[in-house]
Amino acid sequence: MSTPVLEHPRESDRLDPAAFADAAASERDVAPLRAAIDRSCRGPVLWFFGSAVTWLIIGTVFALLASIKLHTPTFLGSAAWLTFGRVRPAHLDVVAFGWSAMAGLGCLIWLMCRLCRVPLRYPGVLVAAAVLWNVGVASGVTAVLAGYSTGVEWVEFPTWCAFILFIGFALVGLWGMMTFAGRRAGHVYVSQWYLFAVIFWFPWVYASVQILVLVSPVKGVTQESIHWWFGHNVLGVFFTPIGLATIYYLIPKVIGRPIHSYYLSILGFWSLALFYNWAGAHHLVSGPIPAWLVTVSAVCSMMMFIPVTTTAINHHMTMRGHFGVLRYSPTLRFVVFGAMTYTVVSFQGSLMSIRILNEPFHFTHHTIAHAHLGLYGFYTMVMFGAMYYIVPRLTGREWASSKLIRTHFWATAIGITAMFLLLSVGGMIQGFEMNHAARPLGELVKEKGLLDGTGEFFKGFKMKNGAVPFLAIVRDTIPWLWIRSGTGVLMFVGHVAFAVLMLLNLTGRGPKRQGPTLFSKDTDGYQRAFGSEESPAHTH
């Protein structure tokens, strides 16, 4: 394994989450502490994880309904509360604020305790936060289905529901700061930088959008700049940092090697902090907002190549020589799938913010495919991996069935890959047809007097000069939407498998921990995959 050349003896400590030089002694010293930390985390983290998985199932049902209604609008078409315009935001908000947020907060709590090396204190605060969060999401989704959405995408919950979520988040944030203040002396690992960024940044963006767009709205289109600053930052300063913090912790843990480079982690963190925040207006390319705003967001979106490449190099170089472990470890497989997808989806996103590449794909299913690749292909898969690692450590029981884990992995991995690729094709067809005109704009300006302000708007105009009539675009998109529903069913199967595994584990049906539940029973191969050296972390 390549180690960076470092002068100071303690520099090497910084790379290893365990932060001890003597492997054997370290395991003896730290294992009881680790066990105590895990035991103390049990209540709060399982509250968050259990709630998250429940919301995942509900959110996937809403997803299937929305997907079906896009190609078969008359499906359950008479129920007002299930109309597409309500069930689609219900899906988004449940998978974002129900599943993703609660999975992430559960990880945040456990990672904070492990990295501060102190058992969890004030569990009641965190359980209260989980309860409040569940109340906020449940009431918010009910309101949306009942017709009380605010109409602002990602912020559809009425403000009083958002306020409940805000209190829940604040409790977790305060707990995080108190835990950090009480940490055992030592270096602050890269994961914690990301988690702190979440604790400080997310409340700020959430409060800003609530106040400036809903409660006391600013005038006009500035609302949309703030709106999408928030919308992009839900990924940028909530889910992505938690996902990255989790990857940075779990890859070294599972393979028993430190992260390749501390300095790359620093570069990755700060360049993300600087650029990700500015990217929001790439949701409004060619929109009725100042051009400088779109340009600056496009530039910073492209600059995101820096943190994403940095992180990719760091993760890859850490994994190098250990890809064999992917055959065995569910945690590692989900996490590495997510980490690789993070690179792909971020590169795609950066490119999509350039005007000429944005024009054909804006407003199409291509964007939806991209969004799912990020929130599902990256973040959700990392969260699955995290739960596979963390839950047995909290309950003392391993997973009941490696067959169900295999079902979960393949159903979701194939599902999201197929969904992304095929829905992107559908979106490209939609976009190219929508943007292709029968006659060039210049000709129409001369003939109809458009743009120069002198002609009267020609009312009978529609569809004569678009090469493809709008209903033909709809017709051409439908087969791809059917395929997407199919991939959604596959992902749902994976989720059910996972929910069953969680239920079995939480209700005490699973082997007591001897070692991890692996994909394969080939334990000799598993040992060989780690190479010849023993290392502390591989005992899991």
Partner 1 sequence: MNHGPLIFLGAFLTFASAWLGLVFFPNQQLKDLQPQAVEGSAMVNPRPYTARELAGRDVYVAEGCSYCHTQQVRGGEYNADLQRGWGPRRSDPQDYVHDNPVLLGTMRTGPDLVNVGARFTGEAGTRWHYLHLFNPQRVSPGSTMAPFRFLFETRKVVGEPAADALRFPADWTAADGAPEAGHEVVPTDRARALVAYLAALDRTYEIAKK
Site for partner 1 in 369-408 (CB under 8 A): none
**Which token pair is 347?**
């590169």
* Backbone torsions φ then ψ of 466, nearest 5 degrees: -85, 135
How far, in Å, CA of 425 to CA of 482, rounded?
Answer: 13
Among 197, 235, 502, 537, binds partner 1 (CB under 8 A): 197
- Region near partner 1 per CB under 8 A, out of 105-113, 133-141, 158-166, 450-458: 450-458
Q: Would you say 276 or 399 has its CB closer to partner 1?
A: 276
Among 102, 115, 226, 429, binds partner 1 (CB under 8 A): 226
- What track of x and - describes contact with partner 1 for positions 260 through 289 (by CB under 8 A)? ----------x--xx--xx-xx-xx-xxxx
Which residue, 258, 186, 366, 377, is CA-closest to 2?
Answer: 258
Nearest 5°: the CA angle 449, 452, 453 is 85
| Residue from the set 175, 193, 248, 384 that interacts with partner 1 by CB under 8 A | 193
Which two tokens mark 364? 């199409």
Q: Which residue, 226, 214, 326, is CA-closest to 281?
A: 226
Q: Does 311 bind partner 1 (CB under 8 A)?
A: no
CB of 337 to partner 1, least distance (A): 27
- The two structure tokens encoding residue 140: 């918010």
Tell me which of 11, 13, 27, 359 binds partner 1, using CB under 8 A: 359
Could you tell me which residues are beta bridge partners of residue 466? 437
Q: How far, in Å, CA of 29 to CA of 20, rounded?
A: 10
**Any residues with CB less than 8 A from the CB of 9 and at least 6 apart, and which?**
none
Alpha helices (runs of H) in 94-158, residue ranges in sequence order: 101-116, 123-146
How far is the C-alpha of 311 from the C-alpha of 305, rounded, in Å? Answer: 10
- Give the residue with the Cβ less far from partner 1, 227 or 393: 227
Nearer to partner 1, 328 or 420 (CB): 420
Residue in 174, 450, 499, 504 binding partner 1, rule: CB under 8 A: 450
Site residues for partner 1, window 170-189 (CB under 8 A)? 180, 188
Give CA–CA dist 11/9, Å, rounded: 5
Residue from 42, 121, 355, 406 that binds partner 1 (CB under 8 A)?
355
Nearer to partner 1, 87 or 336 (CB): 87
Per-position x/- string for 235-264, each x denoting binding to partner 1 as judged by CB under 8 A, each - no binding: --x---------------------------
Residues 6+ apart with CB under 8 A from 24: 536
Q: Round to whole Å and give the CA distance between 157 and 153.
A: 10
Judged by CB under 8 A, the number of residues near partner 1 is 101
Part of the chain binding partner 1 (CB under 8 A), chosen from 215-223, 324-332, 496-504, 524-532:
215-223
Which sign, positive or negative, has the C-alpha torsion 167, 170, 175, 176?
positive
Q: Is 32 in the site for partner 1 (CB under 8 A)?
A: no
Q: Which is nearer to partner 1, 180 or 347 (CB)?
A: 180
> Is 293 near partner 1 (CB under 8 A)?
yes
Specify the DSSP class assigned to residue 327: G
Window of 22-30, 163-171, 396-404, 465-473 that interacts with partner 1 by CB under 8 A: 465-473
| CA quadruple 526, 112, 270, 16: dihedral sign | negative
Of 220, 242, 223, the C-alpha closest to 231 is: 223
Considering the rule CB under 8 A, would residue 224 count as an interface residue with partner 1? Answer: yes
Identify which of 401, 311, 307 has the alpha carbon closest to the alpha carbon of residue 350. Answer: 307
Query: Could you say which residues in the range 81-120 bind partner 1, by CB under 8 A?
Result: 83-86, 88-89
The Cα 136–Cα 152 span in angstroms is: 17
Binding flag, residue 295, partner 1 (CB under 8 A) = no
Q: Which is nearer to partner 1, 113 or 212 (CB)?
A: 212
Using CB under 8 A as the binding rule, whether residue 216 contacts partner 1 is answered as no
Q: At a CB cut-off of 8 Å and minimum separation 6, what does 106 contact?
A: 44, 45, 46, 47, 48, 49, 52, 387, 390
The minimum distance between CB 429 and partner 1, in angstroms, equals 13
Q: Least distance to partner 1 from the beta carbon of 397, Å?
A: 37
Residue closer to partner 1 (CB basis): 436 or 446: 436
Query: 468 to 487, contacts with partner 1 by CB under 8 A?
Result: 470-471, 474-475, 478
Mark residues 125-164: x for contact with partner 1 by CB under 8 A, - for none. ----------------------xxxxxxx-----------
